[in-house]
């Protein structure tokens, strides 16, 4: 892959900014998982797969490109939560907690 993996995913999802990948809806996450399935593990380096895993989901690195790719797909599909995995990513609940922890504004109706 000549384009960095995260940049390629940004382009495939039609995101103006890389950070827009953090705000995908459930359906968009499924679409992103399908896009990743179309990429063979050897097409990107282990470093790129682990960067994507950490950037998109906040997960620990994997030891192989295949494992990192599989973890990305599973987490985006929500399968890791059903199996007790640790690929949480950014969701509405922890975005609110993160904003409060960082001293940011918490939207009305989401305050504890």
Tens of pLDDT, residue by residue, the chain (112 residues): 789 999 999 999 999 999 999 999 999 999 999 999 999 999 999 999 999 999 999 999 999 999 999 999 999 999 754 333 444 444 433 333 343 334 444 445 444 4
Query: Does residue 100 lie in a domain region?
Result: no
Query: Does residue 23 lie in a domain region?
Result: yes
Its domain, for residue 61, covers: 5-86
Query: Does residue 67 lie in a domain region?
Result: yes
Query: Does residue 111 lie in a domain region?
Result: no
Name residues whose C-beta falls within 8 Å of residue 99's C-beta, 6 or more positions apart in sequence: 105, 106
Query: Does residue 52 lie in a domain region?
Result: yes
Query: Does residue 37 lie in a domain region?
Result: yes
Query: Does residue 28 lie in a domain region?
Result: yes
Number of domains in the chain: 1
Nearest-angstrom CA–CA distance, 71 and 56: 11
> Are 13 and 62 within 8 A, CB to CB?
no
State phi, psi for 98 to the nearest 5 degrees.
-65, -40
Query: Does residue 41 lie in a domain region?
Result: yes
């Amino acid at each position: 892959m000549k384009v960095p993996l995260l940049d390629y995913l940004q382009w495939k999802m039609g995101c103006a900014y890389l950070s827009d990948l953090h705000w995908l809806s459930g359906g968009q996450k499924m679409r992103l998982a399908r896009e990743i399935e179309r990429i063979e593990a050897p097409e990107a380096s282990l470093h790129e797969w682990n960067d994507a895993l950490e950037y998109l989901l906040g997960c620990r690195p994997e030891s192989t490109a295949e494992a990192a790719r599989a973890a990305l797909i599973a987490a985006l599909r929500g399968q890791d939560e059903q199996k007790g995995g640790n690929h949480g990513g950014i969701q509405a609940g922890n975005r609110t907690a993160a904003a409060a922890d960082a001293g940011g504004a918490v939207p009305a109706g989401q305050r504890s």
